[in-house]
Structure 1
Amino acid sequence: MNNHIKSNLIIVSVIALLSVACSKESESQLYIGSTAIDTTTIISGIDTPWELLYGPDGYLWFTERAGKVSRFNLLTGERNIILTIPDVLEYGEAGLLGMALHPGFDAEPWVYLVYNYSSGEFIKERLVRYVWNGSTLTDGITLINNIPANSYHNGSRLAFGPDGKLYMSTGDAGFTSNSQNPNSLAGKILRINPDGSIPADNPVAGSYIWASGLRNTQGLVFSPDGLLYGSEHGPNNDDELNLLEEGRNYGWPAVAGFCDLPAEITFCQENNVKEPLYAWTPTLAVAGIDYYNHEAIPHWQHSVLMTSLKASKLVSLKLSTDGLSIVSAENWFDGFWGRLRDVCVSPGGKIYLAVSNRDGRGTPRPGDDRIIEISAVSPTGISRASVNDGRPKVIPNPVNGTGLVEWDGLKASGEYFILDATGTIIATGKATAPAFSISTALYKPGYYILRINSDNQTVSTPFLVM
């Protein structure tokens, strides 16, 4: 949905209406497939959250671009700032970026952080390892220094692989030639031992470089099968989701998206280029990703969940059984909170989103920035027949095409009205028991209100059109 269609007033009114059906903490109750989900702000008033991690201690860890690292208790709502890095340079897109926790955190309580800093007249990037002592992060050791950086195109996500190595994405730092330069760490995927040394089995001896030809990868995640996926910012076209592989070239700047132009085809054939699994034109400004495979939301099982900044939506990318291709892509929460920076999946199947409207390109809303929790109403999903709070249900919600409306209070017949976000009635029809259909094929994406009059009763419920 175009952001200018929805003012803050409309957002607030939709949230207020939704909250009638939910607990007072819930902001919306929608459907992902046949699963009812609640969305709730668990922390607000933060500034440009960048990384979200669900820690092995059951806490939510997150970074803010200005240099703060926090640990959030999901049971009590208590937030503790555990580190503030004084030499972080927050300028443009630069600042404190990615974070990773050592996979053997109990024995090796190491926390890895990437941030930008000033080096004379230049901006640089470094990887630092800290020790968690139970209350703060301490004993920072710089593992890699002087990585080329800029006020934009800095990467940088961190992810531990099943091989126990740390993988790090770097951007091209605004100089496209970096991505194909084997002597530059910019525009690459780096593979690093936990102590910061270079693995002996890296593709090129004595080099951190594991894959090259990347522009600005801001999302990294391993699937349980050991496949590494990355989200890649394109120029004015061809944002990408890549399957990242050892020693492969991803084409930038000679190739954007697929190898489909004559010069691109030649370059791809000569340089072992791996094409993306999926590409978007116009671009979404793709950001953090995570892998979802929990039974709490079956519709999202075996999917990559991807946030976007400019498009301000969550994208679910259903993977093939072998994980080597994308079966389908769906959009969720289009424009609802604004710019989405990162996504994190908990072991219990809850999803956490980082909203980043205070990053210099968004329009902050009351309470921004914030972290949102998405949870199934029932841990194992909930069937539409068991959802009964006295209000009509639009199934599925969001709707794409035809939706089924169920309401226990509907008598033999009634009348329904559909209102757009301005309150204008755009459709009417006959509401018949026990259920009836509505068609949204001609509607623009966005939020709508369904109102039903039946037997001297009037009820309303919001729904989302994709």
Structure 2
Amino acid sequence: MRSIWAATAMTVLLAAGAAACDSSSAGPAPAGGLAGSTASSSPSATPDLEAGEELARGLDVPWGLAFLPGGDALIAERDSGRILRLRPGGGTPEQVRTVPGVAARGEGGLLGIAVSPTFSSDNLVYAYLTADADNRIIRFRLDGGDPETVFDGIASAGFHNGGRIAFGPDGMLYAGTGDAGETSTSQDPASPNGKILRLTPEGKPAPGNPTTGSPVYSLGHRNVQGLAWDADGRLFATEFGQNELDEVNLIQPGRNYGWPEVEGDGDTAGGRYTGPLVTWPVREASPSGLAISGGTAYIAALRGERLWTLPLNGDTAGEPAARLQDRYGRLRTVQVAPDGALWLTTSNTDGRGDIREGDDRILRFPAR
């Protein structure tokens, strides 16, 4: 645990005791959030990117972010394997679980999390993690009990692990995976790597997938780390390029997005490959998290250290604009809360950023 917030965490422990819900989550509590109350927000309004509020600080590479039905946020820390619960008004994040079996190395660790669409009845949370032998998806009840592996066998490496998971409007679980440095897997329909997978909540290939009995929804990806749907159910994804161009793609079932044959815009080989909606030079983006509010996509950029806003118009996109540039450093995850506010996680403690005092932090931008 980093010394930048150890003293604060110890103070919290002495005052409040352990906040974990099971014995596996023993350890120092995270540093406190700063906002005692937050600005009002409306789900029908637009996030105000000039009205940022810091909800929590001193976190250890916050990667996954998902919301419970009541508005509380669950935050997954990549390297510690901890899941924290943070209330919309800020305050001290509560450690609710340490996920067993997390092998944090390089870009791997505890990555994306998703809340079951039937959480009110099943209390289930899903997580994508790097284990000793592979990347896998597990699920567990938030109120306790052992986790259950629902999908495994996704090759892992020090980089290109993918990791974003999300439930779609159809109630199916989608997962973005990486090529784990073996580029040929992205074009191999039998490999789960370099793909977007579509699964049932039990981890089986979802009905209606392009190939019956296969979990593959789309292929030809390098490293997918953002998934989001617009109001009409269109799926969009962000993808890291190699040396030249990062991408935002409109994902359609069965389509091949070209990697490693094509990076960014390029020859579609007579329609075999599907081109991206938007590209950026790698130095300006490294797009990770993706969220959609109204007619705008919000893309969190790591190397680019900015938030891209992208107007969406059906199957097409307008001109992207850079916001929050160089203000908070590397931005990992962006999500829209139930009240319409936009939440952001920074990623300056991941070994590639310049650590600012208080990093890493959770930021909120109310919609009004």
TM bracket (short chain): 0.7 to 0.9
Counterparts of 2:37 and 2:69 in 1: how far apart (Å)?
Answer: 26
1:299 alignment counterpart: none
Matched, 1:110 2:110: no
Unaligned regions of 5+ residues in structure 2, if any? 1-34, 39-44
Matched, 1:162 2:169: yes
SS at match of 1:328: coil
Kindly state the Cα deviation for residue 34 of structure 1 after the two structures are TM-superposed.
12
1:144 alignment counterpart: 151
Kindly state the Cα deviation for residue 197 of structure 1 after the two structures are TM-superposed.
1.6
Contact 1:239 1:285 in 2 (8 A): yes
1:369 alignment counterpart: 360
1:215 alignment counterpart: 222
2:232 alignment counterpart: 225
User: Of 309, 315, 319, which residue of structure 2 is paired with 1:328?
Assistant: 319
1:303 alignment counterpart: 296
1:430 alignment counterpart: none
User: Of 94, 99, 112, which residue of structure 2 is paired with 1:98?
Assistant: 112
Kindly state the Cα deviation for residue 86 of structure 1 after the two structures are TM-superposed.
3.1
Kindly state the Cα deviation for residue 182 of structure 1 after the two structures are TM-superposed.
1.2
Equivalences for 1:165-176 in 2 at 5 Å?
165-176=172-183
Matched, 1:358 2:349: yes
Matched, 1:125 2:135: yes
Please report the TM-score for the alignment, with normalisation by the length of structure 1: 0.67
User: Of 158, 181, 199, which residue of structure 1 is paired with 2:206?
Assistant: 199
Kindly state the Cα deviation for residue 288 of structure 1 after the two structures are TM-superposed.
0.2
Counterparts of 1:153 and 1:242 in 2: how far apart (Å)?
Answer: 18
Equivalences for 1:19-418 in 2 at 5 Å?
37-66=50-79, 67-75=81-89, 77-119=91-133, 124-133=134-143, 137-259=144-266, 264-266=267-269, 269=270, 271=272, 273-283=273-283, 284-293=285-294, 302-320=295-313, 322=314, 324-375=315-366, 379=368
Contact 2:55 2:89 in 1 (8 A): no
SS at match of 1:178: helix
1:444 alignment counterpart: none
Kindly state the Cα deviation for residue 199 of structure 1 after the two structures are TM-superposed.
2.1
Counterparts of 1:90 and 1:35 in 2: how far apart (Å)?
Answer: 35
Contact 2:56 2:92 in 1 (8 A): no
Contact 1:48 1:359 in 2 (8 A): yes
Counterparts of 2:254 and 2:194 in 1: how far apart (Å)?
Answer: 14
Q: 1:25 to 1:336 in 2, by over 3 A?
A: farther
Counterparts of 1:88 and 1:338 in 2: how far apart (Å)?
Answer: 26
Kindly state the Cα deviation for residue 76 of structure 1 after the two structures are TM-superposed.
5.5
Alpha-carbon deviations, 1:130-163, whole Å to 9, x = none?
Answer: 1122xxx433110111211111001111111121
Kindly state the Cα deviation for residue 328 of structure 1 after the two structures are TM-superposed.
2.2
The letter for the 1-side match of 2:97 is L
The letter for the 1-side match of 2:357 is P
The letter for the 2-side match of 1:185 is P
SS at match of 2:119: coil
Question: Identity across aligned pairs (percent)?
Answer: 37
Q: 1:24 to 1:189 in 2, by over 3 A?
A: closer
Unaligned regions of 5+ residues in structure 1, if any? 1-22, 27-31, 294-301, 380-466
Kindly state the Cα deviation for residue 35 of structure 1 after the two structures are TM-superposed.
6.0
Q: 1:103 to 1:24 in 2, by over 3 A?
A: closer
Alpha-carbon deviations, 1:260-282, whole Å to 9, x = none?
Answer: xxxx342xx262x2211100124
Alpha-carbon deviations, 1:387-413, whole Å to 9, x = none?
Answer: xxxxxxxxxxxxxxxxxxxxxxxxxxx
SS at match of 1:139: coil
Counterparts of 1:170 and 1:35 in 2: how far apart (Å)?
Answer: 32
Q: 1:255 to 1:372 in 2, by over 3 A?
A: same
SS at match of 2:184: helix
Contact 2:37 2:89 in 1 (8 A): no
Q: 4+ residue runs of structure 1 moved beyond 3 angstroms? A: 23-26, 32-37
Counterparts of 2:248 and 2:47 in 1: how far apart (Å)?
Answer: 27
SS at match of 2:51: strand
Kindly state the Cα deviation for residue 99 of structure 1 after the two structures are TM-superposed.
0.7
- The structure whose RCO (Cα within 8 Å, separation 6+) is larger is 2
Counterparts of 1:38 and 1:211 in 2: how far apart (Å)?
Answer: 37
